[in-house]
Structure 1
Amino acid sequence: MLGPLEVSGELAAVSVAPGRQEIVLGALVLELNRVVATTRLVDVIWAHHPPKTARAQVQICISRLRKALSDGGVDATIETRGGGYLLRAPEEATDVGTFRRLVTEAHALARDGLKMPAVETLRTATSLWRGRCLAGVPSEVLANTAAQWDESRLEAVETCMRLLLELGRHEHLVGELMQLVADHPLRERLRGHLMVALYRSGRQAEALDVYHQGRAMLTEELGLDPGRELRDLAQAILTDDAVLALAEPAEPRPLVVTPLPETVHVRSAAPDPVVTPRQLPADIGDLVADDTIVSAVCDAVTEGQEKGQLNVVLVLGRPGVGKSTLARHVAHRLATEYFPDGQLYCDLRGPGGQPVDPAQALGRFLRALGVPGQAIPDALDERAEMYRSLLACRRILVLLDDAVSESQVMPLLPGTGSSGVLVTSRGQLTALPGTRRFDLEPLGPEQAIQLLGRIIGEHRVESEREAARVVIRLVGGLPLALRIIGARLAARPHWSLTSMWHRLENEQRRLDELAHGELSIRASLSLSYDGLAAADRRLLCLLSLADGMEIPSWLGAALVDDRTPHPADLLEPLIDMRLLDITAMDQGGEFRCGLSQIVRMIAHERLPAEIPEAERAGAVRRMVGGWMALAEEAHRAIHGGAYTIVAGRGERWHPPADHVQRCLRDPLGWLESEQANLLNAVELAARSGLDELCWELATTLVTLFEARGYPELWERTHQVALTAVQEAGNERGRAAVLGSLGTLHLYRGEYEAAGPYLSTALEIFERLGELSGQALCLRDLARIERHHGDDDRALALYECAERHFVRAQDVIGRAYVLGEMAQITMRRADFARTRSYLDEALGICRSAGFDRGQALTLRRLGQLLMYQQRYEAAERTLLEVLAMVVASGDLVGEGYVLHDLGRVNAHLHRVEQAVQYYSRSARIRERILDHSGAAAVRTDIVAILGRAMTSVG
């Protein structure tokens, strides 16, 4: 799992078909030895709008997986349970299970002071990674869980670096840490480790340079300053603080605050306080939170007391994530021991959601501190001065809940460090100086289960654990939503979790179900929504039209038709209010955002009132047009131009040119990374009546499907597009889709099925006078004739296709046909003509920069050398091709060239090497569902082994 999905057993490596089977197996392994509901599997395969046959298709996947596991001798079984499936296997049978165990062991060793064994264990754990978790598995839902595992790896790396620094290995770590910081420039902890390693190695100036580089990058790209911890570290390095000296740390012990010395007060204009305020709201007894976060917030609030430094701690998060609940719990936990002089509290989001004026909040605080009403000044500045004077020599905790802005908070800050300040906010409050920031995330599955159990009783949750998991997933683990659900179930003991599951499944009514008494998800989110500027509200509503989990930075600009050179800026207000979450960085260096299901629902609910239907239609058209423009540019970059494709007339929306250029430095990689969004765009175009864009985008994506071996996605997008063009009466689009489906059948080796598709498409293209379409159909019809053994007929069709490609100015299409013609003349031993075809095709592909075409032509050149029995030269050529296809991620090409290398080695009587090449080819061709090709390879394996045994006998 920790990389591309791989399965092996005692008997053999297991080939898992890409697409649905990979997704289902990934979902089952992530929930190893736990039941995964069929509805969950449907969701992870089809995030939106599953087909009517979804359950049947899941059953087929399960059946095929069972057979594959059994055939490979894998120590795992898939059991059918009520409403779902359970993959039963030992935890150690998966690399994720091994990783989890090793990290747990490492932490235990570190706690016992065995740091070097802990480091070695962490090194072993992180070495399990072979790439991103579940790399290449096309599921939006699984991507989130996979990202959590990748984050766990980075946390393990950070812990390992910290332990090595504590062991005095700083000089040996500099190089490794430099690479880690280069790979993960936004991780401040890694940057801090590098600074310490450089400093302790006598490289103080370089350590400070690392800090300034990070600060410049954060400021330029995200508009943020480094965190408090990194800033303090830079200051310590600058002043050569003794705290950075290497020393064996003492055993951790509870923080003890030295009582403040008696102080002689000079009487001021402020009256002496006469009361100790105790304003904290009640703590919540059933709090479920990450103990690490709770402890870290507690430490941050109190750590400056001994030094007299004021600590302002900011707890951030989206609406309903539990900021206020956690802050109140922390305040109660610290109140008696650390802040005996009292606690002040103010909800800065007043009745009706209107921000509380800071002067009003100060008036309340002053009265709570014993100042008579008539002695409280009118002016804000004077109130703030009196407030700071009263807190100067006292240890008081100030809890400011749901702050709206920095200007609201600043007057409420004490002037000295004996007091503490804890602030919660939906916004970033980046201009608030000297803050420690903590971002809260929704609860994980087990924490959410625990919270529900505390509210409605563990027995009810345990008896319907799978239903509980579905309910948690439907509300995104949001604590407020879970409290509402728990309250409703507690009030109605006769309701089951399953019944709540069915209520929440209806997206149109989900927000109505998430309300109980004064608790309401809609009300909580509405505060944030109503606080947005009108333009930001409109953009959020339009973003709800975008299917998929991740939103690229240019998409907001497309939705509102804004031609700004920095489209990411449009999303910033929504990110600041935690209505969008930054989820990743794309290939162009821009951030990507996620829109949670709950936020999406309320935005979609407000959509009709905010934006007229005509404007919504225009936004969808621009959004799909943006994906089309980028996919088209990727195709051009790969093929050297708009070749081997029928161009459509759909309206494009072009993102900024520099962004496109950055994204498409690796065009095939970009298509792979955006696969889910591009598939959603095809389906959105079909639902929105954009038939022209729908068929164009579907056929353009064949560049990805063909190179990476995704026949299921090829068929899925084209069936959607075919329905769209047929309903719209779009004959040109219908011909393009039918022709491409014919090519798909050829790709699968289904020659008889391909013929009718290609013949119908050719007839339409001829009627419309579409040269490119005719050329593509003639090319593929020639392949069918060649398969049937009629080389003369095939050659005539290829020559006709070549003439059409020339007239259409499609040089790559012509190069492809020349290569196919070379296959025929090669079999006829007309080697001079074959070489002429191949040399011309290779020159065309090199001139256009079409790498895949170059690899294909060179492979045919290698085959020609085999025909001429020049096996060593053939091997050299084919090894060059293998390096090219592996570097580009061309699985189809890799499978073919490995087969060729097996044949070369067979001719050279290298049996062992030939079998290795054949075996690798067979595995790849099974993976891309090329079963006939895999069978042909295995026939060659049997043949060479048979000859070897005969020779020995």
Structure 2
Amino acid sequence: MRVPPGRQQIVLAALALSINRVVSTDHLIETVWGGDPPDTARTQIQICLSRLRRLLEPTGARVVTQSPGYRLDAPADGIDVRRFETQVRTAERLIMEGQDAEAADLLRAADAWWRGPALAGIDSDALRGTATRLEEERISAVETRLRIELALGRHDRLVPEITALVQAHPLREALQARLMIALYRSGRQTEALEVYRTARRRLADDLGLEPGPELRAAEQAVLTGSAALTGTPDDQHITGAAVPGAVTEPAPADQGEDRTPGPADRGGSGPTAFQLPTATADFVGREETIAATRGALLDRVDSVGVAVLLGRPGVGKSATAVEVAHQLADTHFPDGQLYCDLRATQQAPVAPAEVLRRFLRALGVPNPVVPVDEDERAAMFRGLLADRRVLIVLDDAATESQVLPLLPGSAGCGVLVTSRARLTGLPGSSCIELDVLTVPTALRLLAQTLGRDRVDNEPEAALALAHATGRLPLALRIVAARLNARTHWPLAGLVNRLADERRRLDELSHGDLTLRAGMALAYDGFDPTAARTFALLGLLEGPTIPAWAAAALVDDDRPFPSDLTEPLVDVHLLDVVGVDAAGETVHRFQELVRVFAREKLAELTTDADRRAAVERFCGGWLTLLAEANRRLLGGDHLQIAGPARRWDPPARFVEQLLADPVAWLESERNALRPVVEIAVRYGLVDHCWELVVRSAILLERRGYLSDLADLHDLAAPVVQDAGNRLGMAALVEVANSGLRDRYDTGTRRRQLTAALRDLEELGHREGQALVRRELAHLMFGELTTADATGASAAERMADERAAFELCAQALADFAAEGDRAGQWRTLMLQGRERVRRGDHDGGRADLRRALELADGTGDRRAIAQVLRAVGLAELADGLADSAADRLTAALDHVVALRDPLGEAIILQELGVVRVRQGRSADAVPLWRRSRDRFGEVRQDSARARVEAQLAALAPATD
């Protein structure tokens, strides 16, 4: 795969360096253009990413859109730099374990991943620092390997390699010292001393400096022939500095007493604290989170690594932080680990000054010497850590201001923070979100806490427990604690207890472990508006919750509805799952949080409050559906309107959200059923049927007829029981338009006739027009059947007159209502039937008028439908060339609409036209495309008909 130079390489590099982590769009813009991006920067980034997606497709890697930017999904070991880092870290562990030869081999393998300078050819100021860091990591690993290999006696083969490295890095004294030792051990003492003299001159000329301790020690060792240079243990240190490559013997272990590691062991100075809490013995999962946290803490070379673990109550932030801290303590932060619970969710969070006092005392500062002033304490704290590698774990932080004074200044230190708040203002921090456990990990946790046999004996109950607890680690541990305290309980017994949503949070409590308490602490910090928003959101059942829904529920008209949900998101009582077309957030409740919200709903609201909130929510849906139809059809057409109360989201928001109404429907399609369900549950009869009517055309056009049937069947019984005649007539019209295959013609005729009678008595002219047109369509279809079954001529003539009369009445009603869509549809039906019955001039005139009206709506699907009807009429008149032009134009429209079924139909008909034109060879590719499209949409009988056409044509085209 070759990625073109320039922006695409820069964007790919930025994503790859943060593989499997979200990189914000703003960061990508900064990386490409620095501080002077063009106005089209976001669009250009999107174009880059679109091209990268195509380039990456064969590799299996994917660029995923995720707020606030993009994420490159690929195995971490598919990136060279990650392979390098993994192998270096493994080598560090091997060194600690005394496996030097294995470590050296692994470091050499790690170096093999490098094929030149880091990020070579990528012109980005923002990435230049990263490239420098990576180069530094590489050369540091090389120096470590050379030290080990010299100690292992591999000096002969190292001389050429180190010589090349010195030429490439002439100011790195460690390399010069290692070259001196390799030369000396190879019997080349004079050359070793020349290396020193050359290095000294260069340092003096370029920097005005003398060689450092390591290089001076190497020179002195060569001059004196020190035993350390030969690897013998009797002279290990020269002028206070270890000679590179010298083999050191381990100090004898203390006998007869336990010993806590101190600064002599860990390279620091002064007392050191090791305050980490005990790691959770049955910790499971979180591999990706741990990897991201390690990267955030360890990847920075020139500044403190700060990782912030975020998540809802009970998700396991503290346990994960302690697990990571224990994994990194010895190898990466050997000078100590400081820990403090900042108690953000308790009534009195710990003040930074108090935390600093505790840390200073742990670092050996006597209490009388601890400064009184917070700033002075922070300065002393930073000074004590200046030359140490210490990890600071700050659990349950409240705000940035609580954490900022506790940050060290030493680049060798790391800070690991947990919080429910989004602490995005900490300098250089990486925020890492913890989600609930996956199902397999949740089952592993149950197996470890309950015992594998108990879980294996009731696998279905164990799975039900995982789902009932929302896969929250705290909830799973509570379940395990209860079951371990009652070994005679079957798992299924607790599943039954958790089935009642009203008691679920009561059941998820054991001793000091309680899930409700954690959520209550976050909820108690809400202002009245946030508390009411949270509670009312508990009414909703859909897979996602748009931000505007919160505004509807609380009847708030602010221009940015997400301002209502942000306080809930900040404390992780509401999840963000995306951003809609208007730039507003889309949310989802974790199941147990929804249960807690419903508890608060019962406390804060009355039945009347809840019904009014649901009415506004459903009214908001009606507003959006009506506007989507208006944009699609060029007006409020082809629908029976009712009296259901509307609620209007902000106009700016609606304008942006429905810029592409079809795309909006696709994003919200799965939410339609829960909306109708809640309208049914609260007895909002008019909203029930109008929601079905308003969504019908959108669903029909996308082929989602099973969805439409589902919504219709939900609403119909409620509307029928309420005796709502307008609603039932509207549902009959929808069923006979989009779901006509559900009924035989006799049933449909009876339904439509009864609906028309009701609409006439109610005086609903638009509804009458719609039903008359549908009834005429049905009768024309029956006439065709009657021809085949031998109906009398008189009967056919009477029905034909009645059908045309229905069309005429429908046209008059549509015209009176200003419904252009209704007019073109009726004219198309009437014109088609006139042509079929021999009135070619009248029929084509109707179709031309239909085309004018369809053009006026701007509805491409309408234009395509009428063009097709005109083309077929012209074909029937023998005007094959004109018919071909019409059908080709219709084909262009359906291709643009991405309608494979419409494409298949028109391609088939266009093939027939080519045969009529005497161009049979041109029909073959058209029918082949038609056959393939019918196959794509699983229209097997239509596909077979096209196959038969191709077979019949084969002899003529051979």
Asked if TM exceeds 0.5, the reply is yes
Cα offset, 1:152, TM superposition: 12
Letter in 1 for 2:73: E
Asked whether 1:291 is paired with 2:299, we answer no
Aligned residues: 744
- Are the counterparts in 2 of residues 706 and 892 from structure 1 also a CA contact under 8 Å? no
1:42 aligns with none
1:456 aligns with 450
Letter in 1 for 2:806: L
Asked whether 1:318 is paired with 2:330, we answer no
2:511 aligns with 517
2 CA distance for matches of 1:773 and 1:801? 10
SS for the counterpart of 1:583 is: strand
1 CA distance for matches of 2:441 and 2:364? 42
- Are the counterparts in 2 of residues 743 and 754 from structure 1 also a CA contact under 8 Å? no
1:743 aligns with 737
- Are the counterparts in 1 of residues 935 and 943 from structure 2 also a CA contact under 8 Å? no
Q: Write out per-residue CA displacement over residues 547-589 of structure 1, whole angstroms, 9 at most, x where no aligned residue.
A: 2122223222222222222222222222222222221232233
1:878 aligns with 887
1 CA distance for matches of 2:864 and 2:354? 73
The structure 2 residue matched to 1:300, chosen from 287, 296, 302, is 296
Asked whether 1:126 is paired with 2:44, we answer no
SS for the counterpart of 1:582 is: strand
The structure 1 residue matched to 2:768, chosen from 768, 774, 799, is 774
2:498 aligns with 504
| 1:775-794 correspondence runs (5 A) | 775-789=769-783, 790-794=799-803
Q: Percent identity?
A: 38
Q: Write out per-residue CA displacement over residues 468-525 of structure 1, whole angstroms, 9 at most, x where no aligned residue.
A: 3343233333222222223333333444444444433332222223222222221222
The 1:131/1:634 distance shift into structure 2, 3 A limit, reads: farther
2 CA distance for matches of 1:198 and 1:689? 65
2 CA distance for matches of 1:476 and 1:699? 36
1:842 aligns with 851
The 1:124/1:366 distance shift into structure 2, 3 A limit, reads: closer
- Give the TM-score normalised by structure 1: 0.70
Asked whether 1:562 is paired with 2:556, we answer yes
Letter in 2 for 1:844: L
The structure 1 residue matched to 2:897, chosen from 888, 893, 904, is 888
Asked whether 1:447 is paired with 2:441, we answer yes
Bigger Cα displacement from structure 2, 465-474 vs 578-587 = 465-474
The 1:395/1:557 distance shift into structure 2, 3 A limit, reads: same
Cα offset, 1:533, TM superposition: 2.9
The structure 1 residue matched to 2:74, chosen from 141, 156, 160, is 156
- Are the counterparts in 1 of residues 804 and 830 from structure 2 also a CA contact under 8 Å? yes
Letter in 1 for 2:433: D
2:471 aligns with 477
The structure 1 residue matched to 2:825, chosen from 816, 836, 843, is 816
The 1:342/1:738 distance shift into structure 2, 3 A limit, reads: same
1:652 aligns with 646
Q: Write out per-residue CA displacement over residues 100-135 of structure 1, whole angstroms, 9 at most, x where no aligned residue.
A: xxx99xxxxxxxxxxxxxxxxx999834999999xx
Cα offset, 1:782, TM superposition: 0.6
2 CA distance for matches of 1:593 and 1:696? 25
| 1:551-630 correspondence runs (5 A) | 551-630=545-624
2 CA distance for matches of 1:549 and 1:248? 51
2:355 aligns with 361
SS for the counterpart of 1:400 is: strand
- Structure 2 gaps of 5+ residues are 1-18, 21-52, 85-115, 149-173, 175-212, 215-239, 242-267, 784-798
Q: Write out per-residue CA displacement over residues 521-541 of structure 1, whole angstroms, 9 at most, x where no aligned residue.
A: 212222222233332222111
Asked whether 1:411 is paired with 2:329, we answer no
1:638 aligns with 632
1:755 aligns with 749
1 CA distance for matches of 2:701 and 2:900? 6
- Are the counterparts in 2 of residues 558 and 619 from structure 1 also a CA contact under 8 Å? yes
Cα offset, 1:164, TM superposition: 14
Bigger Cα displacement from structure 2, 901-910 vs 532-541 = 901-910
The 1:797/1:508 distance shift into structure 2, 3 A limit, reads: same
1 CA distance for matches of 2:82 and 2:446? 41
| 1:28-43 correspondence runs (5 A) | none
2 CA distance for matches of 1:401 and 1:729? 60
Cα offset, 1:637, TM superposition: 0.3
- Give the TM-score normalised by structure 2: 0.70
1 CA distance for matches of 2:755 and 2:75? 56
Letter in 2 for 1:126: E
1 CA distance for matches of 2:871 and 2:492? 62
1 CA distance for matches of 2:118 and 2:800? 70
1 CA distance for matches of 2:747 and 2:802? 19
CA RMSD in angstroms, aligned pairs only: 4.1
Q: Write out per-residue CA displacement over residues 233-261 of structure 1, whole angstroms, 9 at most, x where no aligned residue.
A: 36558xxx585799999799999999x99
- Are the counterparts in 2 of residues 709 and 892 from structure 1 also a CA contact under 8 Å? no
SS for the counterpart of 1:436 is: strand
2 CA distance for matches of 1:351 and 1:713? 45
Q: Write out per-residue CA displacement over residues 4-34 of structure 1, whole angstroms, 9 at most, x where no aligned residue.
A: xxxxxxxxxxxxxxxxxxxxxxxxxxxxxxx
1 CA distance for matches of 2:387 and 2:121? 42
2:837 aligns with 828
2 CA distance for matches of 1:720 and 1:426? 40
Asked whether 1:400 is paired with 2:331, we answer no
Larger relative contact order (Cα-Cα within 8 Å, sequence gap ≥ 6):
1
The 1:311/1:158 distance shift into structure 2, 3 A limit, reads: closer
The 1:252/1:566 distance shift into structure 2, 3 A limit, reads: farther
Asked whether 1:696 is paired with 2:690, we answer yes
SS for the counterpart of 1:554 is: helix
2 CA distance for matches of 1:161 and 1:654? 49
The 1:278/1:243 distance shift into structure 2, 3 A limit, reads: closer
The 1:672/1:335 distance shift into structure 2, 3 A limit, reads: closer
Cα offset, 1:293, TM superposition: 3.1
Cα offset, 1:367, TM superposition: 3.6
1:795 aligns with 804
Cα offset, 1:774, TM superposition: 0.5
Task: Choose 1 or 2 for highest CA Rg.
Answer: 2
1 CA distance for matches of 2:697 and 2:893? 17
- Are the counterparts in 1 of residues 279 and 322 from structure 2 also a CA contact under 8 Å? yes
- Are the counterparts in 1 of residues 308 and 419 from structure 2 also a CA contact under 8 Å? yes
Cα offset, 1:821, TM superposition: 0.4
Asked whether 1:343 is paired with 2:337, we answer yes
1:856 aligns with 865
Cα offset, 1:762, TM superposition: 0.7
The 1:795/1:940 distance shift into structure 2, 3 A limit, reads: farther
Bigger Cα displacement from structure 2, 639-648 vs 844-853 = 844-853
Letter in 1 for 2:422: Q
Cα offset, 1:788, TM superposition: 1.1
- Are the counterparts in 2 of residues 289 and 326 from structure 1 also a CA contact under 8 Å? no
Cα offset, 1:903, TM superposition: 4.1
- Structure 1 gaps of 5+ residues are 1-102, 105-121, 134-146, 167-195, 209-230, 264-271, 928-933
2 CA distance for matches of 1:164 and 1:295? 11
2 CA distance for matches of 1:755 and 1:197? 78
- Are the counterparts in 1 of residues 307 and 429 from structure 2 also a CA contact under 8 Å? yes
Cα offset, 1:805, TM superposition: 1.2
1 CA distance for matches of 2:288 and 2:943? 54
- Are the counterparts in 1 of residues 77 and 83 from structure 2 also a CA contact under 8 Å? no
1:170 aligns with none
1 CA distance for matches of 2:388 and 2:773? 86
2 CA distance for matches of 1:893 and 1:351? 59
2 CA distance for matches of 1:556 and 1:646? 28
SS for the counterpart of 1:511 is: helix
